[in-house]
Structure 1
Amino acid sequence: MFIDVLKNIVITIVTVLIFISAVEIMVPSNKMKKYVNFVLGLILISVILSPIVKFLSNGDKEIVNSIKSYEEIFTDNQNKFKSDNVSTLKNNGKEDTKKELFIRNFNKNCEDLLKNKFKEMTFKSELECDVDFNNITFNIKKLRIGIADSKVNKIKKVRINKEKTDNKEENEEYSEVVNYISNQLDIPKEKIEIYKLEE
């Protein structure tokens, strides 16, 4: 709004200056030229002073109106930004909820598959994966399967550095489970980790 007013003032002053230059060129050089220059000077002064007088008389209202319009524009942009952020957060929340539901259903289906095949064992499945619902793809990072046997196990030797070899031994011990789940769910065996559930 202020820029439009300034633009109009500049256009008016330039137009008056062009008019004054044209009149000065056409007026002959004599006593009359002094009076013409005086009148043209008064016209130029009145053109320059009119926006200043207008500003002083109604300027406070125009300033208040322009400030209000800028505040409205700013508020609208801020509200739009907030609503965009809220919708983005809602979409992210929906994606997280979908991912949690997908993982929970996958774990339940995996446990049911294993319980149907190996009835004497109890299973707990824990999936780590990335899911892209837009492209309908998922990437399994790791599938951890906890196994509890209902049969009595032999006592194993106690080892000090057992963490490194424990998973390998348990994967070998339950290789039938690993092979079955790998074939059924098309998961590479390297991504399947077996551990014993504490009873």
Structure 2
Amino acid sequence: MIEFMKNWVITISVCVFFIIAVESILPSNDLKKYAKFVLGLILIITIINPIIKIINGNLNITSAINMDKYTEDKLYKNTYEEYKNKNIESTCKNFEYNLEKQCMNKLKEKYSDNNFKIAVKVKYQEDTNSFKIMSMNVGVKKHKVVEKVVINTKREPKSKEKVEDKLDKEIKNYINKEFEIPINVINIYKI
């Protein structure tokens, strides 16, 4: 239907342009009056011609309208899906960024002697219409220059590995408690 209307408007526009061109070429005399009458009839026929086709049944307006409706629905659906996907992607990125910032602030507040680097990966779940945290990678860098030195004791000093494991578990539990993020998606690594 849109194609039909487009062609009809183009035909009328060409006809009007032709009429203006002919009128500007004709000299101002009695012939111009008759020429305007004939050119006006041509314009009326150009405008009425599609209506006559509809009445005679040469133009199936119902199928043209249905085809146009189908094209419009398909275009709308494609546009809607594209917008929806971009919106979900943007929301995931914003969610990741905000969670990283909040987690960074909380960790710096609680563990001020460490530096952190956080990367979060979030995925949209269409069936539940929610976002799921797939992974949270937390890099930890200690600033302590001097480690605790134990002199003249009978107990054996803790190994560095055990202390770091304890800190890792403590950070995981803290993030789990503060943000309700499952411990199994939190990965701690040293930077």
Q: Normalised by the size of structure 1, how large is the TM-score?
A: 0.51
Percent identical pairs in the alignment equals 21
Paired position in structure 2 for 1:106:
99
Listed as ranges, the gaps of 5+ residues in structure 2 are 1-51, 148-160
**2:179 aligned partner:** 185
133-142 vs 86-95, which deviates more? 133-142
Alignment of 1:11-50 (within 5 A): none
Query: 1:65 is matched with which residue: 59, 64, 68?
Result: 59
Which residue does the alignment assign to 2:155?
Answer: none
Query: Aligned residue pairs: how many?
Result: 126
Q: Structure 1: where are the runs of 5+ without partners?
A: 1-57, 155-167
CA distance in 2 between partners of 1:59 and 1:82 (Å)? 29
The alignment status of 1:80 with 2:78, answered yes or no, reads: no
Q: How does 1:95-134 map to 2 (within 5 A)?
A: 95-131=88-124
Q: CA RMSD in A?
A: 3.5
Between the aligned partners of 2:139 and 2:163, the Cα distance in structure 1 is 10
Q: Answer 1 or 2: which has greater helix percent.
A: 1
- Report the alpha carbon displacement of residue 71 of structure 1 after superposing the two structures with TM: 3.0
Q: Is the alpha carbon distance of 1:65 and 1:153 closer, same or farther for their aligned partners in structure 2, counting shifts above 3 Å?
A: farther
TM-score, normalised relative to structure 2: 0.53
Q: Please report how far the alpha carbon of residue 133 of structure 1 lies from its aligned counterpart in structure 2 after TM superposition.
A: 8.9
The reply to whether residue 148 of structure 1 matches residue 141 of structure 2 is yes
Q: Greater Rg, structure 1 or structure 2? A: 1
Instruction: Give 1:126 deviation, angstroms.
Output: 1.4
Following superposition, the deviation at residue 170 of structure 1 comes to: 9.6
Conserved? CA contact 2:117–2:140, under 8 Å: yes
